[in-house]
Amino acid sequence: MVSWVGAADNVCMLGRARGGAPLRRLRFTLPRRPAYHPARAKRAGNPAGCATDRTGVQDNSVPILIVGGGPVGLALAGDLGWRGIRCLLIEQSDGSIYQPRMDLVGIRTMEFCRRWGLVAAVEASPYPRDYPQDNVYLTSLAGYELGRERFPGIGQASPPPESPQRRERCPQNMFDPILREFASAQENVTMRYRTRLVSFMQDDGSVIAQVENADTGRREEISAGTIVGCDGARSLVRETLGIRMLGNPAVTYTTNVIFRCPDLLSLHDKGKAYRHIFIGPEGTWSTIVAINGGDQWRFSIIGGAAQRQYTTEEIRAAIRRAVGRDFDFEILSILPWVRRELVAETYRNGRGFIAGDAAHAMSPTGGFGMNTGIGDAVDLSWKLAATIEGWGGERLLDSYTTERQPVGARNVAEAGANLRRMLSVGAHPEIADDTPQGVATRAKVGGAFTEMMRREWFTLGIHLGYRYEGSPICWPDGSSAPADEARSYVPTARPGHRAPHAWLADGRSTLDLFGRGFALLGFGATAGDAAALLDAARTRRVPIEFISLAEPQVAALYQRRFVLVRPDGHVAWRDDRMPEKPLHVIDVVRGAADGTDAAAWRETANDCKLN
């Protein structure tokens, strides 16, 4: 028998620390960035994963402690290091991936990989670039095909016009090592595996965390300016912070099985495909995914709301049913898990933050989970950096929840809707029958299912169309937002939205202009024309670069003469002229002034223009 990972009663301790006492909500300002000491460097083998100087004396004080070394924690550590911010990442495992929990690197995540210089590494991952990415619906591999959505191999697909990148098929056991190498290459990042968080507490000055070496049992304390929980759906960081999860903690009890069969393709006539969804007399019941495009496959018994444990023999029988014949295969691993639809009520309490699955747990239908978490990491990273460097205002870190929690809720809902569509096929006892009624049923079910599932396969709007509506650090310009639709994405430079991609005359994308600090784009303008805003930013020590652009097609896309883009690539402000009070605009976008009056300010300005 097998045991379940993440039982529903372990989702969180609502509003209480492990000791049982309620936690009060705290608000702090992070310490300013300490002076960097070149002699300090990461040491892979030191007991707590803390920076060590050349004398061997440990420095158990770090600005940021990241708990969890999955893709979100690694991305956060790498981006912080890329920004020159010192951090320590701890991970209780050795980093090995036995059951890849994600395999789609979404298009927005690939845009971040482009920023980090990782595109070539992702494209060079072992997953075969020419392996067809078809989604096939069938009674069994040896049975009847009900429908198919055809997609070329990843290497044969072109990026859409809206992005310089395309989505990539790079399962977690291939993607995590790329992110780990990126993070470890940053001079200011220290990583320590086989180190687990035991507990932590926060006060007015710091976070004090107790960590334990999983091999020796040795414990010690680490002092940090802030702690970020990237420690998954059963997050100890979230639990200790007393942050509640809202939603359904147990949608299905699902069982994943990785099995090896080099000859599987020769056992049927359906050809190569990435995902196979099996529909039996009872409805949709299982899937098989080509996990490495070769000899390894992930079989999933979808399950339901009732917990069910399977013996190994039952699992073997279910795999044979899906394939439609007896055959030899090797089970490599079995992972029962709980599918959830949850989002945290807040992503922050005092000096503690959560990101990734610790903040939102969603069905993998759609491939949004990890990609949503990478978005969390990029949003949080620049805000932590700004606060530590001293130019971020007191409201900046609070905007993390304001901006990212609605995105998490949106994606959780869409992933859940995808699941319900996949499971919506009712009982059809005759679906596999070799009879006229069976033929008619397969045609009807297959046609309807193929059409319905297209919403899950075409999701450019989910990946690129999210926006930070009502963000206190974005200055609205009074323009109407395009519809937020799963399938379609409308490029716009409206404040709060991702600054759109366009190719420049020199071969770069506009996205290549963003990342380190703020970028002020001037279309047909000079730095002198933008002096008011540039001077205001420098007065507040906000890193900013002016970029003059002359391409008319880019100007038409961005729609204003001046566009201010944040370090994460989202638009903060835009207008055809310099603001009357540039210092106030800068203070709003850096989180140092109340942004709630920005909409009223803009409405007044528009009235003046109209009149």
Longest dimension (CA), the chain: 82
The pLDDT value recorded for residue 362 is: 97
The pLDDT value recorded for residue 434 is: 96
Residue type, 534: L
Helix axes 582-589, 531-539, angle to 10 degrees: 50
CB 279 within 8 A of CB 431: yes
The residue extents of the domains of the chain are 468-610
Residue 314 pLDDT > 80, yes or no?
A: yes
Rounded alpha-carbon distances, angstroms, from residue 52 to 41, 60, 121, 256, 441: 6, 9, 30, 41, 68
Q: What length does the chain have? A: 611
Residue 312 pLDDT > 80, yes or no?
A: yes
CB 326 within 8 A of CB 219: no
User: For residues 22 and 265, what is the distance between their CA atoms, to the nearest angstrom?
Assistant: 56
The pLDDT value recorded for residue 417 is: 98
The encoded tokens of residue 65 equal 């402690």
The pLDDT value recorded for residue 20 is: 34
Mean pLDDT (the chain) is 89
The pLDDT value recorded for residue 101 is: 83
Residue type, 11: V
- The pLDDT confidence band at residue 204, using thresholds 50, 70 and 90, is confident
Strands of the sheet containing 283-290, edge to edge, are: 145-149, 135-138, 275-280, 283-290, 296-301, 245-260, 330-344, 360-361
CB 98 within 8 A of CB 260: no
CB 588 within 8 A of CB 533: no
Angle at 463 between CA 462 and CA 465, to 5 degrees: 65
Residue 605 pLDDT > 50, yes or no?
A: no
CB 498 within 8 A of CB 482: no
Residue from 418, 430, 420 nearest 280 by CA: 430
Rounded alpha-carbon distances, angstroms, from residue 3 to 102, 541, 576: 21, 54, 61
The pLDDT value recorded for residue 529 is: 98
Residue from 32, 21, 14, 20 nearest 387 by CA: 32
The pLDDT value recorded for residue 379 is: 98
- The pLDDT confidence band at residue 269, using thresholds 50, 70 and 90, is very high
Kindly state the helix (H) or strand (E) to which residue 362 belongs, with its residue range. Answer: none
Q: Name 520's Cβ contacts closer than 8 Å, sequence gap at least 6.
A: 530, 533, 534, 537, 544, 545, 546, 547, 562, 563, 564, 565
CB 134 within 8 A of CB 273: yes
The pLDDT value recorded for residue 596 is: 63
- Which tens digits make up the pLDDT trace of 1-53? 444 444 333 333 223 333 333 333 333 334 343 332 323 333 333 333 334 33
- Torsion (CA) 218, 223, 226, 227 in degrees, nearest 10: 10
- The pLDDT confidence band at residue 148, using thresholds 50, 70 and 90, is very high
Which CATH number fits the domain 468-610, given the four candidates 3.40.30.120, 3.30.70.1450, 1.10.10.10, 3.40.228.10?
3.40.30.120
